[in-house]
Amino acid sequence: MTGLAQAIVEWDRASFLAINHALRCGALDTAMPLVSLLGLGHVQVLLILGAALLAGAVAGEMDWRRTWPSVRGVLVRRRDWVLPLLAAFALSGIVSTQIKESRAIYRERPWWFYTQRQARGQFLDVVVATVPGEYPLKSRGFPSGHTCTTTAIAASASLVLRRRRRGALVIGGLWLVSVLIAWSRMYLGSHWTLDVLGGALIGAVCGLLAAWLAMRWLARAGAQKPSTPEPDLSGVA
């Protein structure tokens, strides 16, 4: 291993341990697993769709006597941001999963790495902090899928919502959630720092690309602008 590569590895380990041990308390032990759940794919899809439906309900567009037609109408009227966000989630999820499955960059998870090495008498002074009841994963650490998809959604929103009323608030909230999810993955001992940074970079690229492609497709379909007045994004936040 070259000097530069060794320096990067040492920084990765040291920064992970610093973040993993920082601000540990009972309240965060309870909160961080819940924050991490926000990075799960099905949760993110439900939140995107739920935000659109909430915005529709606030705008008085829901007719509970005709639930499915109302739901479909609300989603169609907000397709100019729902579709890019879902596309960002899908593309980033596929890319991150393919990288993990290909083992192009095989990395053990921090907790498992130190557990294995300590069994051989190495790194005996290192302790990876974990949360009781939250069993850390062992392998396929790069990239952090939670960070990747969350960052992709935030990047996509930055492109499609930047000119909307309350758009800056929504975008800022999504980036804050992305940072918290990234932190939670290291707090729980499941990812190295470079796993998270790599996931964020891949997610940002996928998010912007997916949003651009979705916007082009919508433009070609004659749906670049909403067919109804701009939705109230208070329901998104």
What's residue 114's pLDDT?
95
**Count of residues for the chain?**
237
**Residue 45: phi, psi to the nearest 5?**
-65, -45
pTM of the model: 0.89
The radius of gyration of the chain from alpha carbons, rounded to an integer in Å, stands at: 20
The answer to whether residues 44 and 174 touch, using CB atoms and an 8 Å cutoff, is: no
State phi, psi for 188 to the nearest 5 degrees: -80, -5
The DSSP 8-state label assigned to residue 231 in this structure reads P
Residue type, 20: N
| Per-residue pLDDT tens digits for 12-35 | 999 999 999 999 999 999 999 999
Which residues fall within 8 angstroms of residue 47, CB to CB, at 6 or more apart? 38
Q: What is the mean pLDDT of residues 182-189?
A: 96
Contact 137, 66 (CB under 8 A): no
The CA distance from 49 to 56, in Å, is: 11
Between vectors from CA 165 to CA 204 and to CA 93, what angle results, nearest 5°? 25
CA 203 – CA 155 distance, rounded (Å): 8
pLDDT of 223 strictly over 70: no
Two structure tokens written together for 17: 């341990």
pLDDT in tens, 33-66: 999 999 999 999 999 999 999 999 998 888 877 8
Neighbours of 137 (CB within 10 A): 15
Quick one: tokens of 179? Answer: 């940072």
